[in-house]
Amino acid sequence: MFPTVDKIPPTPDSSEPCTPRAEYPRPILVRDQWQSLNGSWFFRVDPDNRGLTEAWCDGQWDGASVITVPFSMESAASGIAEPEGAAVVWYQREVIKPEAWGSRVVLHIGASDFLTRVFVNGQEIGQHRGGYASFGFDIQHALLPGANRITIRVEDSLSWTQPRGKQAGTTRWPIDYEGVSGIWQSVWLEPLTTVSIESTAYSYQVAEQTLSYKAVLSAQVDGEVIIEVLDGDSVVASDRVQTAGRAEIRAILYIENPRLWSPEQPDLYGVRLTLLNHATGERDEAMSYTGLREVSVTDGQVCLNGTPLYLRGVLDQGYFPEGWYTATTDEAFRRDVELTLAMGFNCARKHQKAEDPRYLYWADKLGLMVWAEMPSGRVFSTELIESLTSEWMDLIKRDRAHPSIIAWVPFNESWGVWHQSERPEQRAFVDAITSLTKALDGSRVVIGNDGWEYSSGDLWTLHLYNEDSDVSSRLAALVEDPHSSVTSEFGGRDRVGALPGADVSGLPILLTECGGIGMGSFSEEDFSYGNLAETPEALEARMRKIMMDIRSLEALQGFVWTQLTDVQQEINGLLYFDRQPKLPVAIFSDIFGEAGDV
DSSP for 26-68 reads -TTSB-S--EE--EEEEEEE-TT--TTTTTTTSSPPSS-EEEE
CA distances 12 to 15, 16, 283, Å, are 9, 11, 22
The alpha carbon of residue 377 and the mean position of all alpha carbons in its chain are separated, in whole angstroms, by: 16
Distance between CA atoms of residues 394 and 410, nearest Å: 12
pLDDT band for position 294 (50/70/90)?
very high
According to the model, what pLDDT value does residue 11 have? 32
3-state secondary structure 495-547: CECECCCCCCCCCCEEEEEEECCCECCCCCCCECCCCCECCHHHHHHHHHHHH
pTM for the whole thing?
0.95
Does domain 296-596 fall under CATH 3.90.79.10? My reply is no
Q: Identify the CATH homologous superfamily for domain 197-294.
A: Immunoglobulins (2.60.40.10)
Task: Output the pLDDT for position 405.
Answer: 98
Q: Which position has the higher pLDDT, 174 or 71?
A: 71
What local confidence, expressed as pLDDT, does residue 17 receive?
59
Domain with CATH 3.20.20.80 in the chain: 296-596
Give the residue range(s) of CATH 2.60.40.10 domains in the chain: 197-294
Q: Specify the pLDDT at position 485.
A: 83
pLDDT at 6 over 60: no
pLDDT value of residue 469: 63
Whether 101 has a pLDDT exceeding 80, the answer reads yes
Query: How high is the pLDDT of residue 465?
Result: 87
Mean pLDDT calculated for residue range 102-121: 96
Q: What is the side-by-side order of every strand in the sheet holding 197-205?
A: 197-205, 210-217, 248-254
- Residues 323-357 have pLDDT tens digits of 999 999 999 999 999 999 999 999 999 999 999 99
The length of the chain in residues reads 598
- The per-residue pLDDT for 530 is 80
> Prior bond to 114 cis, omega within 30?
yes
CATH number of 5-192: 2.60.120.260
* Higher per-residue pLDDT: 475 or 191: 191
User: Are the beta carbons of 595 and 310 closer than 8 angstroms?
Assistant: no
Q: Locate CATH 2.60.120.260 in the chain.
A: 5-192
Q: Is the pLDDT of residue 103 over 60?
A: yes
Give 142-176 pLDDT, tens digit per residue: 999 999 999 999 999 999 999 999 999 888 888 99
Helix (H) / strand (E) containing 361:
helix 357-366
Task: Give the closest residue to 200 by CA, choosing from 101, 126, 270, 113.
Answer: 270
- Alpha-carbon gap, residue 182 to 64, rounded angstroms: 16
> What pLDDT score was predicted for residue 12?
34
